[in-house]
Structure 1
Amino acid sequence: MKPPPFSPLPLAQWFETLHANEILCHLDEMKGVITSTYGRILKLDSTKKITKKLAGGIAETATWMTNVTNEYGQVLNCVLTTGEGAGLEELCQGIVLHFQNAGEPEPEIIYVDRLLWCISS
């Protein structure tokens, strides 16, 4: 018995569209994976180097950038402020609240330059 005739393959655009649609079906899952980075030990570090490179209207207002990183060096958050240390206590409280809302254990330690906040449960 003869096999059925070979069907021609679809065009490359069909495969690209199919792949793009598959990615869109998993968009919420991918966003969740990207935004669900946590840690036990957090470090807040402020710098002026980044803000010196800003252009436009914000260049004259933002003077400090504070990065929140975990023990693996992953950046969890970046905040632009007008002064060093401005709003850091509120930022730390917000981080702890974010962990609580996500059902993750709170960070054990938050380093801020030379200060150290220990989170006690």
Structure 2
Amino acid sequence: MRALQSDGGLHEMLLILAQLSEALQAMFPSVLTSKTEGNTMIKVWRQIQENHHEEYLHRKDLYTTLLMTVAEPGGIVSALRHRFQAPPPPRELPSAPLLRHAFLLAEANNVQDYRNQILSTFGTVLKMDSTKKVVKKLSGEGHGSAQWFTSIANEFSQIVTFVLTCEESTVKLAPMCSGVIQRFRLANQPVPKILYVDHGCCRAQGPTAVETLFEAWVNRGMVVRLDIFHWIHRFDAAIRTDSHSKYAALSLRWLALLSGPSTTG
């Protein structure tokens, strides 16, 4: 049994196994890869059960084959009339909840490592985004305990910090924002140059909600901008409705571009 991280490693392992005899191949019943996304513990348990059952049949067949070879008529073992034991029955596997519990216990030992990795991640270009997709995957006691997953990532798509909240409001996001600001300050990291968001970056007057959350950084030069995906998504609406706070400036800019001097080649 071996865990492989790439298709090349998997192909190499399969080539090695193909060179072995069928009896020896049966001793390596599974090749584990890292592609297990989307598998629930029930699916994993069923796959393990299937692998164990197949492994048991292979070992039973190998045991019977070896006995038939050793106990051939006319041989020494046959003359001694030695009685061999029957193959033991297959052992029952742990249940899926028990496997999940064991997995969580093993992951609990890695929590500090995960925390250290996150707390040591910084960046100069940040992006804050909120989604409900992650929250919908929560199960067990955590199911239904949150509505939003808000994260801040850097320019390398590494998670700087995140939080689960019951609503997307400045009150609920304030602890996360103040915490990441303090973490940057304690680590003597420079203030990020820009923060991209999916909404709340435009204002007619006064600071926006996002600028209020990151006031310490905004006062030191950080700017808040709409990320390119949402900018493209909302561009059409921005130039077609006069209720947008940037409508007047955008219209004047377009008018200046359209009424500018033309050149002929």
Give the TM bin, normalised by the shorter chain. 0.5 to 0.7
CA displacement at 1:112 relative to structure 2: 2.9
1:78 aligned onto 2:162: yes
1:48 aligns with 2:138: no
Alignment match of 1:120 (pick from 219, 232, 247): 219
- Equivalent residue for 2:189, pick from 104, 108, 115: 104
Q: Percent same amino acid among aligned pairs? A: 38
Greater share of strand:
1
- Counterpart of 1:5 in structure 2 is none
Q: For 1:108 and 1:67, locate their aligned partners in 2 and report how far apart those are by CA, in whole Å.
A: 18
**1:67 corresponds to which letter in structure 2?**
S
How far apart are residue 88 of structure 1 and its match? 2.1
Question: C-alpha distance in 1, partners of 2:172/2:195?
Answer: 15
Greater helix share, 1 or 2? 2
Highest RCO, 1 vs 2 (Cα 8 Å, sep ≥ 6): 1
C-alpha distance 31-89 of structure 1, shift in aligned 2 (>3 A)? closer
What SS does the corresponding residue of 1:90 show, helix, strand or coil?
helix
Q: Is the 8 A contact 2:132 2:149 kept in 1?
A: yes
Give the Cα–Cα distance (whole angstroms) in 1 for the partners of residues 115 and 146 of structure 2. 29
Distance 1:119 1:39 in 2: 16
> What pairs up with 1:52-71 in 2 under 5 angstroms?
52-71=136-155
Change (3 A) 1:64 1:33: closer
Superposition CA RMSD, Å: 2.5
Task: Tell me the distance in 2 between the aligned counterparts of 1:90 and 1:31.
Answer: 20
Q: Structure 2: how far apart are the matches of 1:97 and 1:89? A: 12
One-letter code of the match for 1:119? V
Check conservation: 2:124, 2:154, Cα contact below 8 A.
yes
TM-score relative to the length of structure 1: 0.63
Higher-Rg structure is: 2
Q: Which runs of 5+ in 1 are unaligned?
A: 1-29
- Where does the alignment leave 5 or more consecutive residues of structure 2 unmatched? 1-112, 202-210, 212-216, 221-265
C-alpha separation between the residues in 1 aligned to 2:173 and 2:116? 26
